[in-house]
Amino acid sequence: MGEARDDPRVFLVEPDQRGVIPLDGFRIPGRLQRTVRSGAFNVRIDTAFDAVLDACAAPAPGREDSWINGPIRRLYAELNARGHAHSVECWRDERLVGGLYGVTLGGAFFGESMFSRERDASKVALVHLVARLRRGGWRLLDAQFLTAHLGQFGAVEMPQAAYLKVLEAVRPLRPDKASLANPMSGAEAVAYALQPTTQAS
């Protein structure tokens, strides 16, 4: 992370309690389910990564500064160019109105930041992300920190030691990365995000 948008330094953060969104325990409030199913936004993957990154770093009410500084921005852009970082974008009338981005490593996806210019746009992006991760075989969605906003989706805190064990277990996995970009309707997104997990014994 960076201390501020204009601070060139980068430092690592290792919280004692890690925020994660259990992919097999994801929740979607009823009104949001209807919004996602309606297809109110055109959801695209990796068509405007730089624009999503810039929107996440831009000043917003309650978030005048950003931890996304120049060096971090360049690193994420490079990860995207190498196929390791991805954006989930919500569009309306060819305007980017919300989205999120993150980094994938084995069976883990690390959600980094999100933004919204229209109501529910970032939430729709999150539902689509979870659905596509589940469809593709990812097992861990790292949210870094637990917030009230993420709590409504089932996010929980996990002690760092337990988190590292989970991360070690999912790193060797090789999810189907094409599942991120392959088309998905709003109804399919809700179904995939909420479907029960079946695991062989």
Between 188 and 195, the higher pLDDT residue = 188
Antiparallel, parallel or unpaired: β 95-105 and 85-92: antiparallel
Rounded Cα distance, 106 and 99, in Å = 22
Rounded CA-CA distance 7/131 in Å is 36
Q: Give the confidence band of 58 by pLDDT, cuts at 50, 70, 90.
A: confident
* pTM for the model: 0.90
Q: How far is CA 85 from CA 58, 60, 79, 144, in A?
A: 19, 23, 5, 16
Domains and CATH numbers, the chain: 17-194 (3.40.630.70)
Which of these, 81, 86, 76, lies nearest to 108 by C-alpha position? 86
Question: pLDDT tens-digit profile of 107-131?
Answer: 999 999 999 999 999 999 999 999 9
For the chain, give the mean pLDDT: 89
CA nearest 51: which of 76, 26, 31? 76
Model pLDDT for residues 132-165, shown as the tens digit of each residue: 999 999 999 999 888 888 999 999 999 999 999 9
The 10s digit of each residue's pLDDT in 13-45 is 677 899 999 999 999 999 999 999 999 999 999
Cα–Cα distance for residue pair 73/135, rounded to 1 Å: 29
